[in-house]
């Protein structure tokens, strides 16, 4: 069947060639027949053969309609984003005014995704045929993918305006004004600004944003002139706060603007018309005097006018106070510990900070602590707004934490609260970011959309990969049909098109663009190179890879290398040393590159001090793989390297070198060796020579938890009772030591570990806190903490010594022929003529109230080694005892669990 399709196609191409069919003879039906052929080719999986046949034909017949169409549609179907052949066809039929075919061809391109050229051509075709409604619908699609098109957006806004759909009209005008600003067309910007002032003057955040863009892209004078158009609305509506803010912005651009200065004085007088000291403060600040710097005059006036009865103030020594009275030049303030404090106005202005009634400091001062805590925990949005507004409507999470911890929330409460707060700051439209500081949050007068919030975050972000994260967050929650996205996307296309010097930003931009256009093909910026070309231009692949600070792009980089670069296995091995990735190892394994793997891991093993992180990663994640034995690497050598690194990292921590990293590596190794018992497992299955080598290395690590060494040592003794440890005196070998049960031994280990890991660090903190309180000679807390420190040292030292001497008793060693460790003995008391029963264990398990006694106790020692039927007389503490042993059997040690 496939041969018949190819044969039929060859016949059609030859027929077209020899008959020289005219354009006028083509109809939409002809293209539909070709579509049927394409469907069959797709079903039979012969699209590549059809495309090859068409491309060969086009080499000598470049305007073949059949070949252009079939090749063009197959390219789009295979996601090659190559519409050049279909565009050639559209141009051919457009030149011959065959608009119905033009429309069909445009629709075929659009079947595979939005395309700027197809949409624009389709709209022109509808316009030629006077189909305005269809044209407008296509325009609405076009402006979503063509971020530079401004005139069409404006025409759509005017259309909606005429139809009375003001909401849609306003949205289109807003989109158009952004695009005209980018094109630096101020006349069009001014025209649309006027319409928006008329239709939606209350959207003050939008106008301020536009004003800032105009100031930056065009000039400051034009920004000021637009604000002058906006100001009258707020003055006439009595919103003097916003009117004053607008005037301040105008004066920031033009400090000599006498009209703005006159207007701000009038607004101040209206806002504070009920203030008893209004005229006096206007006079004192010289606000009406043109010789006084306008910004200084405004600052002085606002400081003075804030002082009024009932307002709160803050003094750096006396804390929060409330203004009780103002008379002439004297202010009376009630501070918590300084009531009726009198102060001159001049002194108050310089020494006090005015606080609003909702300022967080005021609330912490006047609200019940439990009530405030409850509100903070239950209403996170209110708390965030309160604190942000308390800090001039711009602050960071660090400042927010300082306001709440420990005054309102504990550290543990903050951890949970902080997680929820960050989600709210990211998603709640009430919150935004400063345009130039991504980590500073503001409260918006009008809610902000997610798209605008993310765009603002993008603009404020100074780190390239912070911007990568922002645009990826945008696409997770929004479509790329807004001008906000267009501006962000153009930032990366700018990098991708500048290949003179291939930096990490160029490579990362290329990878990001490929990731985006895989989902949105119409965004393809048509870069004139592929990954192979880009890779050849990279001077140092390792440097580029290690500099890509985004896990997804890093993974894409590896995928592209594997797909397009022949020597990828060797490159993967080099990159693994820089960043450990399971993906790299899995790909090398799946492609049977075990020689490269063996060489890589052998190199890491030989240079483990230099390659610490890859070596530790290799040990943790590779030695359990079923293919690990193929590498023929010594597990003992790996363990020796890890033990050495425990010692090395301890030394570097003590020398204050890369402390955080060394602590992390030290913990990873100890978890692997001791917590997961990987070292112990190896020791229990190897020869005594290896045990001696490895345990000696462990024993030599001075800083290592002694209980770890002791535990390993006892497990070795359990398996090899005659094992001689390096440096061990002969006397120790034959000494019985202190007999203990395993439960008792492990209990003491836990106690020692708790002292070392918990109590000692806590005590160190207590000493630090006590030292911070001043004079140590009279500091009872400091002395108590030092005494506690000495006690802890003595206790841990004694525990370590006991654990070193301890010998764990095994039940298979039990001998019931005589009274010994682990036996239960029944006695007949010949003095009282009563029966008694005791369990003989060690001092760590002794519990006389339950008749469990130590073999080292006076009674235990007296009974030790006697047999059934034997009669004993002895004296303890001047008391006479007379017993006969009736039975000896095995004690139930489960009672100790």
Count of helices and strands (H, E) across the chain: 44, 14
**Whether residue 494 has pLDDT greater than 80:** yes
Reference 467, options 434, 499, 496, 509; nearest CA is: 509
693-697: which pairs have CB atoms within 8 A and are 24 or more residues apart? 693/636, 693/640, 694/636, 694/639, 694/640, 694/643, 695/725, 695/726, 696/725, 696/726, 697/640, 697/643, 697/644, 697/647
The structure's pTM equals 0.62
Q: Please write the tens of the pLDDT for every residue from 727-740.
A: 554 433 334 568 88
**Whether residue 81 has pLDDT greater than 70:** no
Lowest-confidence region among 495-499, 544-548, 593-597, 721-725: 721-725
C-beta separation of 642 from 673 below 8 A = yes
Q: Please write the tens of the pLDDT for every residue from 815-828.
A: 889 999 999 999 99
Q: What is the H or E stretch that residue 394 is in?
A: none
Which residue, chain included where needed, has tokens 């006028």?
24
Token reading at 746: 């492990």
Query: For 526, left (φ over 0), alpha (ψ -120 to 50), or beta?
Result: left
More confident residue, 656 or 722: 656
The confidence score (pLDDT) of residue 562 equals 94
The confidence score (pLDDT) of residue 772 equals 62
- As a whole number of angstroms, the distance between CA 273 and CA 289 comes to 20
Reference 641, options 614, 667, 660, 616; nearest CA is: 616
Measure the N-to-C terminal CA separation of the chain; round to a whole number of Å.
Answer: 79
Burial 768-782 (b: 16+ CB within 10 A, else e): eebeeeeeeeeeeeb
For range 30-47, the mean pLDDT: 89
The confidence score (pLDDT) of residue 732 equals 37
The confidence score (pLDDT) of residue 60 equals 86
Q: Please write the tens of the pLDDT for every residue from 464-480.
A: 999 999 999 999 888 88
628 — phi, psi (to 5°)? -55, -40
406 preceded by cis ω (within 30°)?
yes
- As a whole number of angstroms, the distance between CA 419 and CA 400 comes to 13
For range 108-135, the mean pLDDT: 91
**Whether residue 227 has pLDDT greater than 70:** yes
Residue 617 confidence class, pLDDT cut points 50, 70, 90: very high
The confidence score (pLDDT) of residue 730 equals 41
C-beta separation of 887 from 826 below 8 A = yes
Residue 196 confidence class, pLDDT cut points 50, 70, 90: very high
Residue 357: DSSP 8-state: T
Token reading at 593: 């590159």
- As a whole number of angstroms, the distance between CA 876 and CA 854 comes to 15
428 — phi, psi (to 5°)? -75, 125
- What percent of the chain clears pLDDT 70, i.e. is strictly above it? 96
Angle between the N-to-C axes of helices 780-805 and 706-719, in degrees from 0 to 180, rounded to the nearest 10:
10
Neighbours of 655 (CB within 10 A): 10
The confidence score (pLDDT) of residue 698 equals 92
Angle between the N-to-C axes of helices 294-305 and 240-253, in degrees from 0 to 180, rounded to the nearest 10:
150
C-beta separation of 434 from 448 below 8 A = no
- As a whole number of angstroms, the distance between CA 776 and CA 794 comes to 23
Neighbours of 802 (CB within 10 A): 18
- As a whole number of angstroms, the distance between CA 309 and CA 334 comes to 11
- As a whole number of angstroms, the distance between CA 189 and CA 214 comes to 9
The confidence score (pLDDT) of residue 484 equals 86
C-beta separation of 829 from 883 below 8 A = yes
HEC assignment per residue over 708-761 = HHHHHHHHHHHHCCCCCCCCCCHHHHHCCCEEECHHHHHHHHHHHHHHHHHHHH
- As a whole number of angstroms, the distance between CA 741 and CA 738 comes to 10
Q: Please write the tens of the pLDDT for every residue from 257-273.
A: 999 999 999 999 999 99
Looking at the DSSP bridge assignments, the partners of residue 839 are 824, 852
Residue 20 confidence class, pLDDT cut points 50, 70, 90: low
Calculate Rg over the CA atoms of the chain.
42
Question: 285, exposed or middle or buried, with CB in 10 Å at 0-12, 13-18, 19+?
Answer: buried
Which residue, chain included where needed, has tokens 């290398």?
561
Which residue, chain included where needed, has tokens 């029966």?
835
For range 427-431, the mean pLDDT: 84
Task: Tell me if residue 545 falls in helix, strand or coil.
Answer: helix
Residue 579: DSSP 8-state: S
C-beta separation of 235 from 267 below 8 A = yes
731: Cβ contacts below 8 Å, ≥ 6 apart: none
Query: For 542, left (φ over 0), alpha (ψ -120 to 50), or beta?
Result: alpha
Task: Tell me if residue 505 falls in helix, strand or coil.
Answer: helix
C-beta separation of 471 from 488 below 8 A = yes
Whole-number Cα distances in Å, 227 to 201, 204, 269, 816 = 11, 11, 21, 102
- What percent of the chain clears pLDDT 90, i.e. is strictly above it? 53
**Whether residue 19 has pLDDT greater than 70:** no
- As a whole number of angstroms, the distance between CA 333 and CA 321 comes to 6
Looking at the DSSP bridge assignments, the partners of residue 806 are 738
For range 344-368, the mean pLDDT: 88
Reference 352, options 402, 296, 311; nearest CA is: 311
C-beta separation of 864 from 850 below 8 A = no
The confidence score (pLDDT) of residue 505 equals 96
Q: Please write the tens of the pLDDT for every residue from 360-411.
A: 999 998 899 999 999 999 999 999 999 999 998 889 999 999 999 988 999 8
678: Cβ contacts below 8 Å, ≥ 6 apart: 639, 672
Average pLDDT, the chain: 88
**Whether residue 846 has pLDDT greater than 50:** yes
Lowest-confidence region among 167-176, 485-494, 802-811: 802-811
- As a whole number of angstroms, the distance between CA 272 and CA 304 comes to 12
Q: Please write the tens of the pLDDT for every residue from 576-597.
A: 998 898 999 999 999 999 999 9
Query: For 490, left (φ over 0), alpha (ψ -120 to 50), or beta?
Result: alpha
The confidence score (pLDDT) of residue 210 equals 92
């Amino acid at each position: 069947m496939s041969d018949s399709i190819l044969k039929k196609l060859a016949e059609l191409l030859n027929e077209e060639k020899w008959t020289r069919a005219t354009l006028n003879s083509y109809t939409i039906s002809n293209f539909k027949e070709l579509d049927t052929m394409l469907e069959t080719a797709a079903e039979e999986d012969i699209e590549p053969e059809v495309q090859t046949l068409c491309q060969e034909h086009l080499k000598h017949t470049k305007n073949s309609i059949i070949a252009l169409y079939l090749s063009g549609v197959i390219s789009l179907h295979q996601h090659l984003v190559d519409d050049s052949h279909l565009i050639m066809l559209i141009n051919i039929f457009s030149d011959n005014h065959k608009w119905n075919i033009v429309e069909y061809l445009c629709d075929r391109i659009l079947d595979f995704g939005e395309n700027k050229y197809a949409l624009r051509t389709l709209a022109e075709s509808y316009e030629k045929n006077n189909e305005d409604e269809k044209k407008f619908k296509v325009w609405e699609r076009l402006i979503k993918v063509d971020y530079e098109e401004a005139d069409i957006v404006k025409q759509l806004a005017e259309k909606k305006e005429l139809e009375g759909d003001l909401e849609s009209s306003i949205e289109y005008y807003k989109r158009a004004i952004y695009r005209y600003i980018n094109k630096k067309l101020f006349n069009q910007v001014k025209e649309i600004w006027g319409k928006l002032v008329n239709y939606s003057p209350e959207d003050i955040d939008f106008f301020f944003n536009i004003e800032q863009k105009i100031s930056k892209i065009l000039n400051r004078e034009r920004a000021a002139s637009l604000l002058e158009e906006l100001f009258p609305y707020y003055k006439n509506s009595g919103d003097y706060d916003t009117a004053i803010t607008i005037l301040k912005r105008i004066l920031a651009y033009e400090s000599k603007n006498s009209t703005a200065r006159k207007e701000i004085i009038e607004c101040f007088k209206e806002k504070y018309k009920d203030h008893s000291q209004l005229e006096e403060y206007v006079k004192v600040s010289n606000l009406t005097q043109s010789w006084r710097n306008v910004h200084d005059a405004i600052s002085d006036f606002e400081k003075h006018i804030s002082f009024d009865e009932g307002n709160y103030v803050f003094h750096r020594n006396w804390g929060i106070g409330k203004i009780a009275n103002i008379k002439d030049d004297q202010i009376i303030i009630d501070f918590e510990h300084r009531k009726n404090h009198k102060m001159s106005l001049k002194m108050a202005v310089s020494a006090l900070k005015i606080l609003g009634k909702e300022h967080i400091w005021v609330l912490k001062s006047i609200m019940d602590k439990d009530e405030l805590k409850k509100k903070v925990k239950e209403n996170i949005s209110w708390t965030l707004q309160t604190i942000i507004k308390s800090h001039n409507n711009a602050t960071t999470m660090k400042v927010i934490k300082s306001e709440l911890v420990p005054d309102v929330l504990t550290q543990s409460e903050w951890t949970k609260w902080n997680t929820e707060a960050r989600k709210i700051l990211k998603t709640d439209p009430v919150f935004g970011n400063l345009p130039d500081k991504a980590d500073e949050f503001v409260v918006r007068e009008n809610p902000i959309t997610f798209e605008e919030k993310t765009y603002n975050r993008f603009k404020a972000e100074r780190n390239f990969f912070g911007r990568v994260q922002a645009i990826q967050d945008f696409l997770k929650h929004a479509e790329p049909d807004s001008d906000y996205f267009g501006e962000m996307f153009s930032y990366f296309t700018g990098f991708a098109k500048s290949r003179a010097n291939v930096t990490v930003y160029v490579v990362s931009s290329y990878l990001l663009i490929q990731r985006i256009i895989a989902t949105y093909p119409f965004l393809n910026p048509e870069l004139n190179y592929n990954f192979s070309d880009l890779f050849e231009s990279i001077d140092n692949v390792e440097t580029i890879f290690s500099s890509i600070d985004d896990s997804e792009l890093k993974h894409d980089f590896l995928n592209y290398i594997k797909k397009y670069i022949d020597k990828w296995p060797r490159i993967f091995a080099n990159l693994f040393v820089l960043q450990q990735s399971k993906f790299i190892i899995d790909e090398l394994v799946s492609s049977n590159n075990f020689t490269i793997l063996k060489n890589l891991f052998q190199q890491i093993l030989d240079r483990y001090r230099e390659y610490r992180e890859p070596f530790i990663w290799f040990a943790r994640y590779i030695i359990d793989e079923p293919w690990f034995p193929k590498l023929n690497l010594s597990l003992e050598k790996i363990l020796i390297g890890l033990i050495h690194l425990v010692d090395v990292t301890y030394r570097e921590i003590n020398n204050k070198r890369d402390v955080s990293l060394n602590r992390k590596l030290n913990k990873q190794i100890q978890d692997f060796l001791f917590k997961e018992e990987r070292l112990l497992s190896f020791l229990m299955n190897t020869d005594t020579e290896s045990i001696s080598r490895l345990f000696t290395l462990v024993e030599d690590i001075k800083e290592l938890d002694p209980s770890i060494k002791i535990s390993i040592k006892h497990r070795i003794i359990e398996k090899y009772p005659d094992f001689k440890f390096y440096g061990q005196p002969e006397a120790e070998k034959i000494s019985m030591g202190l007999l203990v049960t395993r439960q008792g031994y492990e209990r003491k280990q836990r106690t020692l570990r708790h002292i070392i890991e918990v109590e000692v660090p806590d005590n160190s903190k207590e000493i630090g806190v006590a030292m911070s309180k001043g004079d140590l000679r009279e500091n009872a807390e400091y002395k108590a903490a030092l005494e506690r420190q000495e006690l802890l040292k003595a206790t841990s030292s004694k525990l370590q010594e006991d654990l070193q001497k301890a010998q764990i008793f095994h039940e298979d060693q039990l001998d019931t022929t005589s009274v010994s460790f682990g036996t239960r003995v029944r006695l007949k008391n010949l003095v009282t003529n009563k029966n008694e029963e005791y369990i003989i264990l060690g001092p760590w398990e002794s519990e006389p109230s339950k008749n469990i006694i130590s073999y080292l106790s006076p009674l235990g020692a007296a009974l030790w080694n006697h047999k059934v039927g034997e009669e004993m007389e002895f004296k303890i503490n001047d008391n006479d005892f007379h017993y006969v042993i009736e039975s000896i059997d095995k004690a139930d040690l489960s009672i100790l669990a």
